[in-house]
Amino acid sequence: MRPECRISPSERTWIGTAPPVGILGRTPGLDDIKTHSRLNDVLMFMRAREHGVNFATRNIQDMGLLTTLRADVTVVFYIRLNGVDTTGTGN
């Protein structure tokens, strides 16, 4: 990817990532082993918020919870059915 196409998180975004990660970490039923992956997911989610862009993901469980915390981010959920992507918007 070309450097000019990358969106880097600001310090404010890094700091703002902590509360949602903490909430997801204490949510019953979520896999504790995914902590590192979850941090990256939340960072991307918050970065999309900071830059005002839509966030596309197949991670319905974690991102579904995040959209209840931050309704100001448009998330496009997609799944693969028989090799075809299908989408649905949530926010």
Question: What confidence tens digit (pLDDT) does each residue in 21-77 have?
Answer: 787 777 777 666 666 677 888 888 888 888 888 888 888 877 878 888 888 888 888
Which of 56, 14, 58 lies closest to 39, judged by CA? 14
Answering whether pTM is above 0.85, one says no
CA torsion 10→15→18→19, rounded to 10°?
-110
Task: Give the chain's domain count.
Answer: 1
Q: What is the mean pLDDT of residues 73-87?
A: 76
Greatest C-alpha distance within the chain: 41
What is the pLDDT, as a whole number, of residue 1?
A: 65
Q: How far is CA 59 from the centre of its chain?
A: 8
What is the pLDDT, as a whole number, of residue 86?
A: 62
**Domain around 68:** 3-90
Q: Kindly report the number of other CB atoms within 10 A of residue 49's CB atom.
A: 17
Report strand pairing: 84-90 vs 55-57: unpaired
The token pair that represents 6 in the structure block: 């990358």
What is the pLDDT, as a whole number, of residue 88?
A: 57
